[in-house]
Amino acid sequence: MILVLEKGITEEKKNSIRSILRREGCIVREISSNEQCIIGSAGKPAHDVDFFRRLPGVVKVTPVSTSFKLVSRQMHPEDTLIQVGDVVVGAERIVVIAGPCAIESRDQAMTIAQEVRRYGAVLFRGGAFKPRTSPYSFQGLGEEALKILAEVREEVGLGVVTEMTSPAQADMMMKYVDVVQIGARNMQNYELLKCVGRMGKPVLLKRGLSATIEEWLMSAEYVLSEGNDLVCLCERGIRTFEPYTRNTLDLSAIPVIKNLTHLPIIIDPSHATGIREKVPPMARAAIAAGADGLMIEVHHDPDNALSDGPQSLYPKQFARLMRNIYVIAPVVGKQLDFDYLDKAKAVDEMPAAPGHADRRTAFLGEIGTFSHKACTQYFGTKITPVPMSSFKAIFEAVKQGEVDFGVIPLENSLAGSIHENYDLLLEYNLKIIGEIKLRIMHHLIGHPGTRMENIKRVYSHPQVFQQCQQFLNSHDNWELVSVSNTARAVKQIKEKGTPADAAIAGKEAAEIHGMEVIEEGIETNPRNYTRFAVIGNKPLKNGPKNKSSLIYSTGNRPGALYETLKVFAERGINLVKLESRPIHGKPWEYMFYVDIEADVESDSFKPILKLLQKKTDYLKVLGCY
Ligand code: PEP
Ligand code: MN
């Protein structure tokens, strides 16, 4: 049951409620919420709900209606995030676990691990104890394989995931691996579930071959009830009457799970389909449906794999799939980050800004804006976002070393460039160290339960009104109130406290301020993306760089710009953006901002850069990323 406690309740009263619940044999969890103090309890107390309702300090008691308690959303409204080294499962960046079905040798594991890491996997999988249908099939290398996994972690830098088939393997698992997988065949092996519950290591809990979602969640409940909240669910196909695929991938489990539980869910299209060519389309669909990640079997020589070769992707296929996921992710508000691990390492190795223990990134506006989202999606939980009141203040803070990075919008796919930031990039001597693209979806947000017909005023940023013109035209009786940013608009309507006031913002702002989305996706054009640049004093050492930004000016003579562009054209270098801005104090003279698909700081580019210098009056490299 859920016990809502009175506002400002004393620790003493709270403790007494907790100890009564524990005495009655309940598991007690405090549910964090900035406004309300709530206690969740699971178990079968001797007393009825009325008894708890009458306890001093208790305002309301609601029984949890589902058979699973600790895993239910009611008990824990926020998403559970599972930290595995630098990787966070369940957050805004998609987590891809890849590797062979089974570890066959050190060479095999290293080869595949290097390949999958290169293409963007952040965790490595590989079976050591294989639960095979036939006792005559390869059973796995056992502890030897676990040692190889530990070496992969050391050498390739990927956290490792493997299946545990018996409580007797607990010590070994604790010693060698980062995530313990419970296989489909063991989903209801309750001794094993209790054992991993006590181990406290992150658990990847596969759905049983014929398990209902409720049975699957009850299995997760076993792990949580032993004190381990770090459970990630994994849908891997269920057995149906359909023989064309090995199993039937239940993609509808994703939204069902998201609704019922706070635990993250990842999809394993390899075991679900059993057929290599069916894996990429199902993986793409899983991300589109809202999965937190994927588990994919990859083998460099699948024809000779000791298990599950026919469903294992070749590394090149895996690479192609990852590029497609990269494109799909922003559509559903997430990111696939090819630099995930290198970036985390580079950030850790940076000296922190003087006087600060944490790494800080400045952004415009306040918590809950799209700029804030760009910030958290780019760096994950590694940094503290620091709100600023102007773009110039961001550049200044980075320059002065008060923050480590800044996140600035550069262009919107509908509204075009944000010129102020282009001008600031010229003025300041900072580097673009990365970029991130977000899909901008606007929602009509109001007080919970607000009906459209009660709305009289709508608050947002003027540009947002423009982007939602079509929707607003059909409500021309609404008064539009301009506010400096979308998150502030939501904050203001909350303070006003009446259903007559609504706001337009992203869903994060609604969540942060406890408001409700009344109408989803009201932007006129759904292809509304904003590209943000991440700026810093020094480039990050984070993997291969394939894009560069330059600023230059040319003499005022025929063909001067053409001469510079010819340098790129003749070498097959793709130009992805060309923008011109007036030079301050020099009427009718222009700076050109150029983005190209190349690393201009690489050795092979040096002669080209020299040539470009000759053909320009001024040239500045803004960054390679
Ligand atoms: C595996 O991941 O290799 C495996 C055996 O999976 P499942 O338990 O889903 O069959
Ligand atoms: Mn397998």
Cβ neighbourhood burial of 109 (10 Å; 0-12, 13-18, 19+): buried
Mean pLDDT of 518-522: 97
Confidence of residue 225 (pLDDT cuts 50, 70, 90): very high
| pLDDT (tens digit per residue) in 349-359 | 888 777 888 89
33 pLDDT more than 70: no
47 pLDDT more than 90: yes
What is the model's pLDDT at position 571? 95
181, 234, 273, 307: which to mutate for ligand 1, most atoms within 8 A of CB? 181
CATH superfamily of 548-624: ACT domain (3.30.70.260)
Confidence of residue 426 (pLDDT cuts 50, 70, 90): very high
| pLDDT (tens digit per residue) in 440-496 | 999 999 999 999 999 999 999 999 999 999 999 999 999 999 999 999 999 999 999
3-state SS track over 81-141: CEEECCEEECCCECEEEEECCECCCHHHHHHHHHHHHHCCCCEEECECCCCCCCCCCCCCC
219, 236, 308: which to mutate for ligand 1, most atoms within 8 A of CB? 236
pTM above 0.75, yes or no: yes
Q: Is the CB of 295 under 6 A from ligand 1?
A: no
Please give the DSSP secondary-structure letter assigned to residue 331: G
CATH superfamily of 443-519: Periplasmic binding protein-like II (3.40.190.10)
545 pLDDT more than 70: yes
The region of weakest confidence among 34-38, 96-100, 145-149, 547-551 is: 34-38
- Catalytic (active-site) positions: 530, 532
Look over the chain and give the mean of its residue pLDDT values, rounded to a whole number: 95
The closest of 342, 294, 341 to 322, measured between CA atoms, is 294
What is the model's pLDDT at position 352? 78
CATH topology of domain 82-332: TIM Barrel (3.20.20)
**Which top CATH class is 2-62?**
alpha beta
| pLDDT (tens digit per residue) in 569-597 | 999 999 999 999 999 888 888 999 999 99
| Topology match between the domains 353-440+529-536 and 443-519 | yes
Closest residue by Cα to atom 3, ligand 1, is 101
160 pLDDT more than 90: yes
Mean pLDDT of 214-243: 97
What is the model's pLDDT at position 250? 98
Distance from the CA of 119 to the center of ligand 1, in angstroms? 23
Mean pLDDT of 419-436: 96
CA pair distance 367, 373, nearest whole angstrom? 8
Q: Where are the beta strands (DSSP E) in 485-574?
A: 501-505, 516-519, 529-536, 548-553
**What are the structural domain ranges in the chain?**
2-62, 82-332, 353-440+529-536, 443-519, 548-624
Q: Is the CB of 299 under 6 A from ligand 1?
A: no
8 pLDDT more than 90: no
Query: Considering the domain 353-440+529-536 in this protein, what is its CATH number?
Result: 3.40.190.10
Mean pLDDT of 379-395: 95
